[in-house]
Amino acid sequence: MEIQIRTSGSVTILDLNGNLIIGRSEESLREAVKKLIDEERRFLLINLSDVPTIDSSGIGAMIKSFTSVKEANGKLKVMKPSRMARQLLSITGLLSVLETYEDETSAVSSF
Amino acid sequence: MQKPAQLKIVNRFGVTRLLPLGKPVFTIGRKAENDLQLLSDSVSRQHAEIIYEEDAWYLVDIGSKRGTFVNDQRVERYALQHLDHIRIGGDEDQQITFLDDSVERASAIFDSAPRLTLTPPLPGRERVTSANEELQKLARFVEVNQAFKFSMTPDDVLCLIVDAAIEITQAERGFLMLRNAAGDLEFKVARDHNRSWLEGADFAMSRSVVEEAFKQNRSVIINDSSEAAAHFARESIRNLDLRSIACIPLRRFQMTENMDATTILKRDVIGVLYVDSHVIGGTISQTSIRLLESLAFEATKSLESVRLMHEEQEKKQIEQELGMARQVQVALSPTAFKVPDHFEIAAHNIPSRYVGGDFYDFIPLKDDRSAFVLGDVSGKGMAAALLAAMAQGALQAQFTSNLPLAEVVASLNKVLVQRSASNRFITLFCATLDPEGHFTYINAGHNLPILARTTGETETLTTKSVLLGAFDFVEYKPRQTRLAPGDVVVMYTDGVTEAVNADNQMFGDERLEELVKQSVSLSAEEIKLRILDDVLSFTAGLPQGDDITLIVLKVK
């Protein structure tokens, strides 16, 4: 999985590309988030539009990232989950915790 | 100094290992402390030694029962020659060959950190010869790599393949793309001719050439002058100003005996190897193309063998845990539960090969109420089974001390957040039922149970609560519904709906819901059997990766 990082105002957007599953992809998300927190970036938005599959380790990485951003007094939100990703976030109840948006403009302005 | 030498050992699955002979005495036998351990009964515990004396390696039988053989001749002490075939007792499982590296002149690539050294580019015909040598080196490297199976990842191998492809074709850049689960090509390796990684997730390249190679399963070579250029000219080649391109499909490789290139299943393309160049005169020769195709073959071969070896190792570990995990799981089945008069209950668990973390329980409460618990711990093996046992124990204790449902779930969540590893979660459906039919439930990230009413309506039971073990700040709020006599609730884990058949189709939510709807007039036990029957006939005996657990509750 590839992670591209860009900014929109005070919001840092992580464009994920590839499956968020056990192994390198899950680790790289956690590392990227940790690095951004160290750089004092507090408003993170994860773009899931190019993530076809998420497994339980991927869910773990999202939860871990959410928790570390929250502990740093920041916010982590999600945008444009694919159909499968949305279903998974919904069943696991994460939609009630992870604010999720369908388009970038409203996601960015929500921070 | 000793002459460098090694043993090449090919097992009956065709997996090759290379063992360097680095010590003055190299021991062979059935006991684990030998340098080469052979498990066959016909091998003595301490069978033979290879010793270095007077500039030669000697194979010495140290009083074995079944003898030591070189090229099928029984030997007591024998000076080994390059390519001698060694047999220890009657062990036919391993083909052992002695390699004298001073003959092979290949010791250079047997460094502790394996690395393919490629010679600098040479012009004209010499380049072809050199490329041929490189390929031999590469083939040899792949062999060496198998000895280093645990230190090399498939990615390292792919990277080497791309570097070699760039070298052979004198291209500027090279890419290796593999098909992902969604069936699309994904970049795995992107390198330039200086053997550096190219940055980025996407690269300007000729998509139509890649498509053609991938979809039509054929090599596509485009040189500046070739006619093929016209065929593709309409798009990126011209825009990108690319002069030469080569794109070779990577085909699924099957392990067979005496395997050669013809055993490949041609229809199954798993990715492509792609190189290109802007430079005029970087014409890709027929020889290079053949070499590229061999490389592509090597790529899939090494991918497959590395994958198999990793799988084998994982499987061993899992199987060790399996015995213990099974014991835990048996202990997890619900304790003697006296079913009250106002409902029927039927449950079943089919453990998967790997023992997942499914658990369920029925707990009698005060005032003729009963509690139902169904959970699924993420992950498999011992750790998951232990966490399931822990969770089940905690739930039992709290229900028995008469805490309300919301508190029972919240306190389990707290314990999990504090205690368990960051990647372990539990999805849990948990409910209580009283004799009047009040059904109170919390669904913490679990598959939605199906409530089928005698009226023919169905609904799914959700409280949109987060799975357990994720956040300590979330609340778990129960919902309540009233069950009428004859109403049925089917609780299940994802092993049911995600059961797959040979065509990789899933059983699915809709199918289950429809089945429950049609079965509502049956007894709890009959509904359970009907669902299990349907799942099992759907999967047609295909081993499943996940536990299948099912609970059917029917109000009388």
How far is it, in rounded angstroms, from Cα B227 to Cα A12?
48
Alpha helix (H) residue ranges in B233-285: 236-240
What's the pLDDT at B476? 94
pTM above 0.95, yes or no: no
Contact A57 B425 (CB under 8 A): no
For tokens 């990577």, the residue is B250
Cβ contact B467:B442 at 8 Å: no
> Residue B508, exposed/middle/buried by CB under 10 A (0-12, 13-18, 19+)?
middle
Residues paired with residue B535 on neighbouring β-strands, in sequence order: none
How far is it, in rounded angstroms, from Cα B415 to Cα B411?
6
Nearest by CB: A93 against B181, B422, B444:
B444
| B314 inside 8 A of chain A by CB | no
Q: Which of A74, A11, A86 is nearest to A48 (CA)?
A: A86
What's the pLDDT at B282? 52
How far is it, in rounded angstroms, from Cα B312 to Cα B164?
29
Which residues of chain A neighbour B378 with C-beta distances below 8 Å? Answer: 56, 59-60
Q: How many CA atoms lie within 13 A of B172 on its CB side?
A: 13
Rounded to the nearest angstrom, the minimum Cα separation between B543 and chain A is 20
As given in the structure block, the two tokens for residue A2 are 């590839």
Cβ contact B64:B89 at 8 Å: yes
Contact B474 A96 (CB under 8 A): yes
Contact B466 A93 (CB under 8 A): yes
Mean pLDDT by 10 residues, chain B (556 residues): 79 67 86 82 90 89 92 91 89 84 44 35 43 50 45 66 78 87 84 82 77 84 62 57 80 48 53 80 63 72 68 67 60 69 90 73 88 87 72 82 90 82 82 96 96 95 93 93 96 91 88 95 95 91 83 95
DSSP state of B46: S
Nearest by CB: B467 against A2, A4, A92:
A92
Which residues of chain B neighbour A52 with C-beta distances below 8 Å? Answer: 180-182
| B461 inside 8 A of chain A by CB | no
Cβ contact B106:B53 at 8 Å: no
Work out the mean pLDDT of chain A and round it to a whole number.
Answer: 90
Polymer length of chain A: 111
Q: Long-range contacts made by residues B114-122, C-beta under 8 angstroms, separation at least 24?
A: B114/B141, B114/B144, B114/B145, B114/B148, B114/B152, B116/B141, B116/B160, B116/B163, B116/B164, B118/B163, B118/B164, B118/B167, B121/B167, B121/B170
C-alpha dist (Å) from residue B253 to A58, B274, B308: 29, 19, 12
Residues paired with residue B432 on neighbouring β-strands, in sequence order: B371, B440
Confidence of residue A30 (pLDDT cuts 50, 70, 90): confident
Mutate to test the interface with B, among A2, A87, A92 (most CBs of B within 10 A): A92
What's the pLDDT at B111? 30
Mutate to test the interface with B, among A54, A97, A98 (most CBs of B within 10 A): A97
> CB under 8 Å to B278, separation ≥6 — which residues?
B172, B241, B242, B243
Which residues of chain B neighbour A60 with C-beta distances below 8 Å? Answer: 378, 422-425
> CB under 8 Å to B212, separation ≥6 — which residues?
B218, B220, B232, B247
N-to-C CA span, chain A: 26
As given in the structure block, the two tokens for residue B119 are 């010679």
What's the pLDDT at B330? 59
Which residues of chain A neighbour B422 with C-beta distances below 8 Å? Answer: 60, 63-64
C-alpha dist (Å) from residue B326 to B331, B379, B380, B428: 9, 15, 12, 21
Which residues of chain B neighbour A63 with C-beta distances below 8 Å? Answer: 422, 425, 470-471
Contact B182 A52 (CB under 8 A): yes
What's the pLDDT at B208? 82
C-alpha dist (Å) from residue A13 to A40, A57, B431, B556: 14, 21, 40, 55
As given in the structure block, the two tokens for residue A16 are 């994920």
DSSP state of A3: E
Nearest by CB: A17 against B201, B447, B471:
B201
What's the pLDDT at A25? 76
For tokens 């079943």, the residue is B348
Residue A109 scores a pLDDT above 80: yes
Alpha helix (H) residue ranges in B178-235: 207-216, 228-232
What's the pLDDT at B145? 46
> CB under 8 Å to B421, separation ≥6 — which residues?
B383
Which residues of chain B neighbour A54 with C-beta distances below 8 Å? Answer: none
| B466 inside 8 A of chain A by CB | yes
